[in-house]
């Protein structure tokens, strides 16, 4: 079976995108996996610490147990998303090393360490390098992040138009070169206009606003990195720009708000899990087939054909 770095690199080299679908509610797992398999696509199923803290996914063990009920390794793999060196809720130092170590021991094949909230890139590099050394000993792949990806920090944040027009927090080519060279990370999350679904206080049942991407800048980051790039805050970005980004180095895109809001709205409407699961399935199929146009790409990602 191909390891996690191979599948993402296959997608990167082919200009094909892999979605990372977050599962903040355990009943979302089955319809997401079913949608990916039915469309003969490929996805990472992700779980993030902030979801354990604020929603109902409970923790990495519970997510893994649920995933194993539906696991189809030619179509889906598991991933630990957004473990920050700084806790996103408290803004205090996080016990990131213990959390990631436990996930590795459970058998997660890839993890994300986010040191982007450290006071400078030197600290980010130190945090990331520590996790890379730990993970690579177990053949676990590491996603890192550099740049400022707004969203969770909603206080005193500039308007989105100002962020984009003035390139506030955008990842630089030099940052990318340093992160890859000095940490050995396998994938790198970058900022180029994307933002998290919590930006500007977006509520649980509201749609996320539309974002733009500086695709030319992404291409420059890709050339500087030499490893697959990741786009967080994947919901609500103009689709023409997304498709262009896939051809310019983005191999993985994180999708959380889009499917989460469908589940939450359906549960609010009927308080029926099966009804909410169908809403998630329908949306996931639409994303894969119509929006991202990645139906039938599992063979490319798995390296078994075109």
Range of the domain at 50: 4-302
Cα separation, 197 vs 169, whole angstroms: 17
What local confidence, expressed as pLDDT, does residue 290 receive? 95
pLDDT at position 20 over 70: yes
What local confidence, expressed as pLDDT, does residue 111 receive? 98
What local confidence, expressed as pLDDT, does residue 157 receive? 67
- Where does the pLDDT of residue 306 fall: very low under 50, low under 70, confident under 90, or very high at 90 and above? low
Tens of pLDDT along 98-116?
999 999 999 999 999 999 9
Here the tokens at position 61 are 């063990």
Mean pLDDT of 291-306: 90
3-state secondary structure the chain: CCCHHHHHHHHHHHCCCEEEEECCEHHHHHHHHHHHHHCCCCEEEEEEHHHHHHCECCCHHHHHHHHHHHCCCCCEEEEEEEEECECCCCCCECCHHHHHHHHHHHCCCEEEEECCCCCCHHHHHHHHHHHHHHHHCCCCEEEEECCCCCCCCCCCCCCHHHHHHCCCCCCCHHHHHHHHHHHCCCEEECCCCCCCCCHHHCCCCCCCCCECCCHHHHHHHHHHHCCCEEECCCCCECHHHHHHHHCCCEEEEEECHHHHHHHHHHHHHHCCHHHHHHHHHHHHHHHHHHHCCCCCCHHHHHCCCC
What local confidence, expressed as pLDDT, does residue 155 receive? 57
Catalytic residue among 81, 186, 214, 258: 81
pLDDT at position 135 over 60: yes
Q: Of the given ranges (1-10, 43-52, 244-253, 283-292), which has the lowest mean pLDDT?
A: 1-10
| Average pLDDT of every residue of the chain | 90
Does 207 or 272 have the greater pLDDT score? 272
Name the nearest CA neighbour of 285 among 77, 27, 39, 30: 39
Mean pLDDT of 146-164: 69
Note if 81 is an active site residue. Answer: yes
Q: How many domains does the chain have?
A: 1
Tens of pLDDT along 169-202?
789 999 999 999 999 999 999 988 777 554 334 3
What local confidence, expressed as pLDDT, does residue 5 receive? 67
| Residue that has been written with the tokens 């000095």 in this structure | 182
What local confidence, expressed as pLDDT, does residue 208 receive? 41
Query: Residue 89 CB: number of other CB atoms within 10 A?
Result: 12
Tens of pLDDT along 242-290?
899 999 999 999 999 899 999 999 999 999 999 999 999 999 999 999 9
Mean pLDDT of 138-143: 96
| Residue that has been written with the tokens 């598991």 in this structure | 78
What local confidence, expressed as pLDDT, does residue 17 receive? 93
Mean pLDDT of 117-124: 94
pLDDT at position 152 over 70: no
pLDDT at position 156 over 90: no
Name the nearest CA neighbour of 136 among 116, 113, 115: 113
Mean pLDDT of 50-79: 96
List the CATH number of the domain containing 259: 3.20.20.70
Mean pLDDT of 58-69: 97
pLDDT at position 12 over 50: yes
Cα separation, 182 vs 145, whole angstroms: 13
Residue 153, burial from CB neighbour count under 10 angstroms (0-12, 13-18, 19+): middle
């Amino acid at each position: 079976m191909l390891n996690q770095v191979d599948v993402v690199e296959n997608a990167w080299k082919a200009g094909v995108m892999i979605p990372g679908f977050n599962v903040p509610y355990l009943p979302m797992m089955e319809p997401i996996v079913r949608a990916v398999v039915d469309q003969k696509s490929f996805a990472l199923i992700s779980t993030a610490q902030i979801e354990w803290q604020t929603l109902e996914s409970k923790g990495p063990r519970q997510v893994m147990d649920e995933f194993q009920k539906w696991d189809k390794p030619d179509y889906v793999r598991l991933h630990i998303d957004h473990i920050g060196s700084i806790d996103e809720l408290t803004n205090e130092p996080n016990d990131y090393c213990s959390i990631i170590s436990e996930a590795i021991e459970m058998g997660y094949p890839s993890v994300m360490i986010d040191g982007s909230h450290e006071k400078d890139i030197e600290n980010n590099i130190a945090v990331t390098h520590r996790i890379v050394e730990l993970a690579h000993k177990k053949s676990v792949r590491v996603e890192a992040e550099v740049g400022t990806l707004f969203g969770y920090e909603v206080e005193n944040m500039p308007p989105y138009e100002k962020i984009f027009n003035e390139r506030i927090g955008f990842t630089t080519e030099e940052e990318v070169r340093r992160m890859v060279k000095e940490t050995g990370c396998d994938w790198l999350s970058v900022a180029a206009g994307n933002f998290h679904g919590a930006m500007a206080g977006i509520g649980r049942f509201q749609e996320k606003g539309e974002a733009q991407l500086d695709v030319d800048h992404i291409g420059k980051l890709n050339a500087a990195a030499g490893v697959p790039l990741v786009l967080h805050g994947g919901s609500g970005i103009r689709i023409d720009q997304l498709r262009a980004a896939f051809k310019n180095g983005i191999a993985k895109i994180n999708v959380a708000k889009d499917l989460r809001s469908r589940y939450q709205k359906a549960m609010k409407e009927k308080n029926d899990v099966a009804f909410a699961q169908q809403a998630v399935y329908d949306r996931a199929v639409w994303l894969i087939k119509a929006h991202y146009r990645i139906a039938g790409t599992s063979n490319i990602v798995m390296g078994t054909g075109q």
